[in-house]
Amino acid sequence: MIIDCHGHYTTAPKELMAFREAQLARFADPGKPEAALADISDDAIRESIESNQLKAQRERGADLTIFSPRAAGMAHHEGDEATSKAWARACNDLIHRVVTLFPDNFIGVCQLPQSPGVPIAHSIEELERCVNELGFVGCNLNPDPSGGNWQTPPLIDKAWYPFFEKMVELDVPAMIHVSSSCNPNFHATGAHYINADTSAFMQFIQGDLFKDFPDLRLVIPHGGGAVPYHWGRYRGLADMLKRPPLSEHVMKNVFFDTCVYHQPGIDLLFRVIDIDNILFASEMFGAVRGIDPETGHYFDDTKRYVDALDIPAEDKRKVFELNARRVYPRLDVALKVKGK
Amino acid sequence: MIIDCHGHYTTAPKELMAFREAQLARFADPGKPEAALADISDDAIRESIESNQLKAQRERGADLTIFSPRAAGMAHHEGDEATSKAWARACNDLIHRVVTLFPDNFIGVCQLPQSPGVPIAHSIEELERCVNELGFVGCNLNPDPSGGNWQTPPLIDKAWYPFFEKMVELDVPAMIHVSSSCNPNFHATGAHYINADTSAFMQFIQGDLFKDFPDLRLVIPHGGGAVPYHWGRYRGLADMLKRPPLSEHVMKNVFFDTCVYHQPGIDLLFRVIDIDNILFASEMFGAVRGIDPETGHYFDDTKRYVDALDIPAEDKRKVFELNARRVYPRLDVALKVKGK
């Protein structure tokens, strides 16, 4: 089977954004009424999925998407802790409804209620709710809840440890995924996302996070940011900084997805990164939605690029299925329960 | 001939750093004596170059390095405008001495006196001095003088225009090059540099800088950051944002160097980026100084990677020489004067 480990509910019914707008309006002016999410019918959810992600899933030949709320929508830099908590809950509940309506096609990963300056331990409650009550298999962890101002300690700082402890206890991975940018230097999907991927990887080289958490698993999306392209630089920096080789020091715990939107990039990714560290993903519908005039296919139809690789079938199976089942053990259990 | 467009004087005599330390000490405590650069003999400069950059240049087979002060040393976030001005002047004067001692092997590019919040127009005087009086052929422009806090407007903002006007008038390019990072999220050479490259490119997509300055030329170092690896993403984003194709909108004015420290990365660069937009460079001695255990050669011996490419000799000549002469016309003139 083919598992896409990185899909977002970017097509949620408009009531969700109306709720968000009302929520932020009240945050700006407490005299306004408390935001309430309007009723959304099952049909509206079905329609938003069937004509979009599910349609593309079928057309492109994937079976199951690990599905999370819209990443740019998380916007942890807006509002405060209570705002983010209510917003994460609303977004995650909607993902749960999608998964309930399409249990064979989607499985949930949650947005966390983060806010600048708020201890990450405050995000544990929502993670537990999503994993234990809603059957989610992972989370999206924002390394920069300030939205491009990067005022939070790096991921190797002990400030993050309470959350990593809980992840290990629940046996769920996190995708390291920033949200929108309020810094005009960083276009969200064109700079901030990629920079965050690159920065996180370098932080892992600098620190000893995986010595402290040998069972922690983190997915760096967008093909690992700039890392595979600069793999020699990172190997060299690890050496200069007297760190162990990357294969020992980082790559037992870190995985890259295949959200790289052209064949040469995918070719490079597979050339330099071990096959056990690559998870198939499309990010659809996400950063780039158009058709590549050079190929006549959608930029984010990443399955075509992987299909085109001249690698053994067993390697493709790892990337399409087995690696995801290993990195997301709760997904594996959920599939086995269904005899898959 | 083989021109390395990106070399730094990372091996300057210790008197230079002593000056810097004294300068910052006085900035912190105005009761301290004014910093003065101790005398540095020609022999000390010769020694610092001959046993390092010149030795590597000869061993690796390059002829001429476009040479600038240590990038991490610029540290525009430290001190104030006067500090940066005196520091840039000292660093540039030392580059000039190197060039004077080794006129066949080095030509100068200057550090600018930038500071957070200080108009970029204040950098023009030093640019003019270096170009008109010292014979420099370009400059390093820091898009984030706040050192990882990114509080300056993006490069497409009109705040930068006075400087771009002067660059066009002087017919010199800039390399977009950040300095050290005071943000613990960003390791300087492992994250901040690469992120800045990526961010700058995305800014150029968003803006209309080259419509306003059709003759402006900017070099994005470190192989263009993450851009070639995500070339499909950038082509797709340009399309989504209703921008012209990258070949028209950005790539008439933007060039990538070859500071990518492994063969697969260089292969990708040449596969996706037009040959006219690639300039040979090593960044030596810079980010990574060790020997790659996989090849037995220095990571930053980038000439080996370019040599290994199966491309026409005329393309290699563009990358090794002709593109640099076109992007740095004052270099071309200086070479022609010597009959080269």
Chain B touched by A134 (CB under 8 Å) = no
Burial (CB count within 10 angstroms: exposed 0-12, middle 13-18, buried 19+), residue B133: exposed
Q: Does A288 touch chain B if contact means CB atoms closer than 8 Å? A: yes
Q: How far is A185 from chain B (nearest CA, A)?
A: 5
| Closest CA relative to residue B227, chosen from A187, A219, A70, A336 | A187
Q: What are phi and psi of A302, to 5 degrees?
A: -70, -20
Q: Give the pLDDT score at B172.
A: 98
Q: Is B315 exposed, middle or buried (CB count within 10 Å of its CB: 0-12, 13-18, 19+)? A: middle
Task: Provide the residue type at A276 as one letter.
Answer: D
Indicate yes or no: CB of A187 within 8 angstroms of CB of B203.
yes
Using the predicted structure, report yes or no on whether residue B286 has a pLDDT greater than 90.
Answer: no
C-beta separation of A181 from A188 below 8 A: yes
Mutate to test the interface with A, among B220, B233, B258 (most CBs of A within 10 A): B233
Report the alpha-carbon distance of residue B77 to residue A93 in Å, rounded.
45
Residue B124 pLDDT: 98
Contact residues on chain A for B182, CB-CB shorter than 8 A: none
Mean pLDDT of chain B: 97
Distance, in Å, from the CA atom of A301 to the CA atom of A228, rounded to the nearest integer, reads 20
Closest CA to A106 of A223, A6, A220: A6
Helix axes A42-50, A53-60, angle to 10 degrees: 40
Tokens of B126: 């030093």
Query: Which tens digits make up the pLDDT trace of B109-130?
Result: 999 999 999 999 999 999 999 9
Spell out the per-residue pLDDT of chain A, length 340, in tens: 999 999 999 999 999 999 999 999 999 999 999 999 999 999 999 999 999 999 999 999 999 999 999 999 999 999 999 999 999 999 999 999 999 999 999 999 999 999 999 999 999 999 999 999 999 999 999 999 999 999 999 999 999 999 999 999 999 999 999 999 999 999 999 999 999 999 999 999 999 999 999 999 999 999 999 999 999 999 999 999 999 999 999 999 999 999 999 999 999 999 999 999 999 999 988 889 999 999 999 999 999 999 999 999 999 999 999 999 999 999 999 999 999 9
A237–chain B nearest CA distance, Å: 6
Residue B275 is predicted with a pLDDT of 98
Joined together, the tokens standing for residue B319 give 């990358």
Contacts of B282 in chain A (CB under 8 A): none
Average pLDDT over residues B243-252: 98
Which chain A residues contact residue B149 at CB under 8 A? 149-150
- The pLDDT of B128-141, averaged and rounded, is 98
Residue A293 corresponds to which tokens in the numbers above? 């005039």
**Residues of A assigned a catalytic role:** 283
Between A152, A264, A290, which is nearest B268 by CB? A264
- pTM, to two decimals: 0.98
Residues present in chain A in total: 340
Q: Is the pLDDT of residue B61 over 90?
A: yes
CA–CA separation, B170 vs B131, rounded Å?
Answer: 8
